[in-house]
Amino acid sequence: MSKHKQVNESDRSRMADRNKKQSMKPSVRVQAALARRTFDRPPIKHLAVAEVDRRLSEHFGVRREADLLDCLGHDFREIRPDAPTANILAMYEAAGGVK
């Protein structure tokens, strides 16, 4: 049993609502920041060791890495050369593409 409080559905719903209320898509936010244009909030990049990710996943009650990143408001997505092509295209489309 984890000694950390589990996030209930109400908490998870509030986090999702908070993320939906952002006025910019993550890809637009990152591009605006890189171009030194105005953005709604600073882009967030989550990077942690596996143990921290495991504990955060337990805390938020999520299993998939993508769900954890959503809970944390993560704006960046990785496209790795070792990922299968279908995954690269799905990640690219999920991130809103690059215009």
13-29 confidence digits (pLDDT tens): 666 666 566 688 888 88
Look at residue 88 and tell me if it is in a domain: yes
Look at residue 68 and tell me if it is in a domain: yes
pTM of the model: 0.56
Domain count, the chain: 1
Q: What is the rounded distance in angstroms from the CA atom of residue 91 to the CA atom of residue 24?
A: 18
Look at residue 60 and tell me if it is in a domain: yes
> Which pLDDT band holds residue 1 (cuts at 50, 70, 90)?
very low
**Structural domain range at position 77:** 9-94
pLDDT at 67 over 70: yes
pLDDT, average across residues 59-65: 92
